[in-house]
Chain A
Amino acid sequence: MGIKGKAYLMGAFEHPLRDAPDTSTPQLHAECARGALIDAGLTKDDVDGYFCAGDAPGFGGLSMVDYMGLKNVRHLDSTETGGSSYIVHVGHAVQAIAAGKCSVALITLAGRPRHGGRRPGAGMAPGGGGGLTDGPPEAGFENIYGGSTHNTYGMCAMRHMYEYGTTSEQLAWIKVAASHHAQWNEHAFLKDVVTVEDVVNSRMISDPLHLLDCCVVTDGGGALIVTSPEVARSLKRPKVRVLGAGEAPKTPLGGQGLDLTHSGAVWSGPRAFEEAGVTPGDIKYASIYDSFTITVLMQLEDLGFCKKGGGGKFVADGNLISGVGKLPFNTDGGGLCNNHPTNRGGITKVIEAVRQLRGEAHPKVQVANCDLAIAHGTGGSLGTRHASATVIMEREG
């Protein structure tokens, strides 16, 4: 055990500038990255792990992954501990490499405090707002157009319908299934069972997504405990063993060949399934991030539960309803009906999967012999840049 000797520092680069009036913070990050890669004799396409802290402009590591065109990243870490972050990152990178989660880790730091961080320009414009960085590099070209989760996910749904003939009625079945589960959850924000007609007749929010295609907005939260096997054995609770995990950013990467009909799940899913040694057909219960109905449909396709473009048929006619369909999903009612605390639904996805594997879900929605489950999520926006994450778990014993 331990990381001793498990990885090597093979590239290093210190930017020559000490005063950077003409170089943006994203550019400084990228120039440092290029310098270190050249020093190591590698290229950006060799990088499969990216580590940055709060000085990196944008949303976690996603904006710099996009700026630099890092298309092969399978491990992201934006741990922030101030000036020591990059030393923490070295330790985390070695752990990730030792675990097989990446083989070339890039760590960057950059900023320009002598030039006011986010200035020059309209520092308080959308995407701005003070702080130590120049702001997300994409902000000036994206944040001014009134993008929200509703309309950027709407864009994905629109294109999915155009390419594959997916219908609003098919999307509605996802909400219907969630509502059938939520009726048994005493804490669910929305407990009423709805019909396909209710969904497609609810008011249009942003084409083609109706009000009932959208998740709830709720306060609240959640927490998880992960332990070593030794600690797990000493505890009195049913043991849920993590078999595999995968992650992947998806960003426009320069805008050539943009494809909004799939998510990063096309990469995170296979990584998790391969590590776990199971296939989608083995899964008994699925927690699937449901910020919108289209989110579920695209991710089910991307994870391999059905073929690309077949999601509409797959989710129809109650196929996601526990006790009715082939793939029981979000048996707590999910983000569509139960809970989407502080607009982040990832943790509740894991929590319901744990309940199912323990056999502690509501009896009306408990999946029989539930010994293998998946929890999958998308963070950020499907329509611009996001990170996908997949975890596969089994009940032990």
Chain B
Amino acid sequence: MSDSHEKNGATGNMSRPIPAPMVSVETKPFWDAAAEGRFLIKRCTECRKAFWYPRAMCPFCMSAETVWEESPGEGVIYTYSVMHRSPTGPYAIGYVTLNEGPAVLTNFVDVAPDGLAIGMKVRVKFQPTEGGPPAPVFAPA
């Protein structure tokens, strides 16, 4: 077990299985779009601010006038941390600051554990989950 993990951690690219995300009536449009490879964020049509995570009500002005907006899913790493041991090998969690403004919690993929840096440009991609819709993860742009 440790051999494969060390090999993965030393030189390989990180990945971890992602469990099925919880989908609610409120967030189903996001996950339906994710299944089509489209990354949606929410924007308030009253105060014009984009926000994350998606919800029906604007967290800035409490307006109910919020809309889904397709995002290119581009941004920079705000921070990250590599978990060195797990049953499936090392993996990285962190926040991406999207070009639209909001910070998104995510996993970083297609990168070695020592290949990450704050400020690095990254782009969204979708990873299959265990029995649910694909989930957004980010890779170096």
| B-side interface residues, number (CB < 8 Å) | 54
Per-position binary interface string of chain A over residues 113-144, scored 1 when its CB falls under 8 Å from any chain B CB and 0 otherwise: 00000101111011110000011011111111
Q: Which residues of B contact A258 (CB under 8 A)?
A: 78, 95, 97, 103
Chain A proximity of B7: nearest CB distance (Å)? 17
Do A144 and B80 touch across chains, with their CB atoms under 8 A apart?
A: no
A68 contacts partner chain B, Cβ-Cβ < 8 Å: yes
Point out the residue from B22, B102, B103 that lies within 8 Å of A128, measured CB to CB.
Answer: B22
B132 contacts partner chain A, Cβ-Cβ < 8 Å: yes
Do B107 and A31 touch across chains, with their CB atoms under 8 A apart?
A: no
Given the known A-B contacts A27-B57, A141-B54, A207-B82, are A256 and B21 also in contact in the complex, defined by CB atoms under 8 Å? no
Do B51 and A141 touch across chains, with their CB atoms under 8 A apart?
A: no
Q: Which residues of A contact B28 (CB under 8 A)?
A: 120-121
Residue of A nearest to B82 (CB): A207
B67 contacts partner chain A, Cβ-Cβ < 8 Å: no
Q: Which residues of B contact A221 (CB under 8 A)?
A: none
Given the known A-B contacts A24-B26, A158-B118, are A152 and B93 also in contact in the complex, defined by CB atoms under 8 Å? yes
A260 contacts partner chain B, Cβ-Cβ < 8 Å: yes
Per-position binary interface string of chain A over residues 53-81, scored 1 when its CB falls under 8 Å from any chain B CB and 0 otherwise: 00000000000001111000000000000
Chain B proximity of A231: nearest CB distance (Å)? 44
B135 contacts partner chain A, Cβ-Cβ < 8 Å: yes
A255 contacts partner chain B, Cβ-Cβ < 8 Å: yes
Do B16 and A44 touch across chains, with their CB atoms under 8 A apart?
A: no
In chain B, residues 60-78, which have Cβ atoms closer than 8 Å to a Cβ of chain A? 60-62, 64, 78
Do A134 and B105 touch across chains, with their CB atoms under 8 A apart?
A: no
Given the known A-B contacts A155-B81, A159-B78, A206-B82, are A252 and B26 also in contact in the complex, defined by CB atoms under 8 Å? no
| A-side interface residues, number (CB < 8 Å) | 64
In chain A, residues 149-191, which have Cβ atoms closer than 8 Å to a Cβ of chain B? 150-152, 154-159, 162
**Cα of A44 to Cα of B57 in the assembled complex, Å:** 12
Given the known A-B contacts A145-B106, A206-B83, are A137 and B53 also in contact in the complex, defined by CB atoms under 8 Å? yes
Q: Which residues of B contact A151 (CB under 8 A)?
A: 81-83, 93
In chain A, residues 22-47, which have Cβ atoms closer than 8 Å to a Cβ of chain B? 22-24, 26-27, 30-31, 34, 37, 43-44
Point out the residue from B22, B25, B93, B131 that lies within 8 Å of A23, measured CB to CB.
Answer: B25
Do B24 and A255 touch across chains, with their CB atoms under 8 A apart?
A: no
A193 contacts partner chain B, Cβ-Cβ < 8 Å: no
Do B105 and A142 touch across chains, with their CB atoms under 8 A apart?
A: yes
**Cα of A123 to Cα of B23 in the assembled complex, Å:** 8
Do A34 and B105 touch across chains, with their CB atoms under 8 A apart?
A: no
Q: Which residues of A contact B129 (CB under 8 A)?
A: 144
Interface residues of A (CB under 8 A from B): 21-24, 26-27, 30-31, 34, 37, 43-44, 66-69, 118, 120-123, 125-128, 134-135, 137-148, 150-152, 154-159, 162, 203-209, 252-256, 258, 260, 384
What 9 additional pairs, Cβ within 8 angstroms, besides A27-B56, A137-B26, A144-B20? A23-B56, A24-B56, A125-B21, A144-B21, A144-B129, A150-B83, A155-B94, A254-B59, A255-B52
